[in-house]
Amino acid sequence: MKIVILAGGLGTRLAEETRVKPKPMVEIGGRPILWHIMKIYSAYGLSEFYIALGYKGEIIKRFFVDYYNLNGSMTVDLIQGAIENHETPRDRWRVHLMETGLHTQTGGRLKRLEPHLKDGTFMLTYGDGVGNVDIRSLLAFHRSHGRIATVTAVRPPARFGGLTLDDSDIVLKFAEKPQIGEGWINGGFFVFEPAIFDYLEGDETNLEADALPRVAEDGQLAAFRHDGFWQPMDTLREKQLLESLWQSGQRPWKVWED
C-alpha cells in the first residue's frame, strides 16, 4: 500500500512559520508535522510514502537525507572520511520525494504521480493535519463499499466554547471548544483506486473543487465517519494548540509506540 502526502502548498495562513519552511516541516514536539502523519500510517504497518513536493521542497528533501544519519549513535572517521551508524533506524520507511511543481493544484500534484500509483489501491492525505484515524478500519471500509474513492469525514473542531440555552436564555451547559455536533467535513485520509486519475486532467485540477464533486456525482465517493480526534494546522493558533497537547502529554493522534 502506497501513501501520498500532499506537501507542496504555500501555507499562507501560517506565514509566521512558512516564510522559512514548508508547512509540513512546521514542528510539533520537536518533529515536523509530516513526521507525525507518517508515524500514524506506519503504526498500521504501512511504510512506502510518496511526498508531493512544491514550495521549499528542498527543505523536506534535506530532512530525509539527514534523517538516517542524524538519528542514533554514529562514529565519524575523519582520517578515512567514513561514517558508521551503530543502530538501524526504527522508522523503516521508503520515502519517494517527488517534485510536483510550485503552483500545481492538489489534483494536479496527484496526477503527476499517476505512473507510480496506477497499479492498485493507494492512500492520500494532507501534510498539515493529524488524527487518531483507524487506518485499518478505513481501508476495510473502502474495500467493502467498492467505490473509486473514500474520504474520511470528520466533525470540525469548534473555535469557541459551545453554549446550550433554555427558553429564558439561561445557560444549561457550557462546553469549552467541543467538537461541533452537526455537519461533516473533509478530513483527508483518503483511499483511492487508480480510476481516480480519469477525473484529473492536469496541473490546474483541484482535487477538492474539480475532481471529487464529479466523483460524488457519479456515486463513486464513500465517506468513512471518524468521530475521534482530528485537528488541522492551518493557523498559528492551531499549531500552538497541537504543541500544547503534545507538551501536556495529551497526544490523541499518537497511535504509535515509542
Q: Is residue 174 part of a domain?
A: no
Residue 175 lies in a domain: no
In a domain, 110, yes or no: yes
Give domain status of residue 255, yes or no.
Answer: no
Q: What is the mean pLDDT of the chain?
A: 90
No. of helices (H) and no. of strands (E), the chain: 8, 16
Q: What is the CATH number of the domain that holds 48?
A: 3.90.550.10
In a domain, 157, yes or no: no
| CA 231 distance to own-chain centroid | 10
Number of domains in the chain: 1
Helix (H) or strand (E) holding 16: helix 15-18
Tell me the pLDDT band of 226, cut-offs 50, 70 and 90: very high
Distance, in Å, from the CA atom of 139 to the CA atom of 141, rounded to the nearest integer, reads 5
Integer Cα distance of 158 and 179 in angstroms: 6
Give 13's pLDDT tier (boundaries 50, 70, 90).
confident
Rg (the chain; Cα; Å): 20
Strands 48-53 and 94-99: parallel
pLDDT digits (tens, 9 = 90+) for 138-191: 999 999 999 999 999 998 776 655 556 657 555 555 555 555 555 788 999 999
Query: Could you tell me if residue 165 is inside a domain?
Result: no
Domain that holds residue 17: 2-152+183-248
What SS3 class is residue 35? helix
3-class state of residue 38 by DSSP: helix
- Segment 49-59, tens digit of pLDDT: 999 999 999 99
Residue that is written with C-alpha cell 501560517 in the block: 14
Contacts of 235 (CB under 8 A, 6+ apart): 13, 14
pTM of the model: 0.89
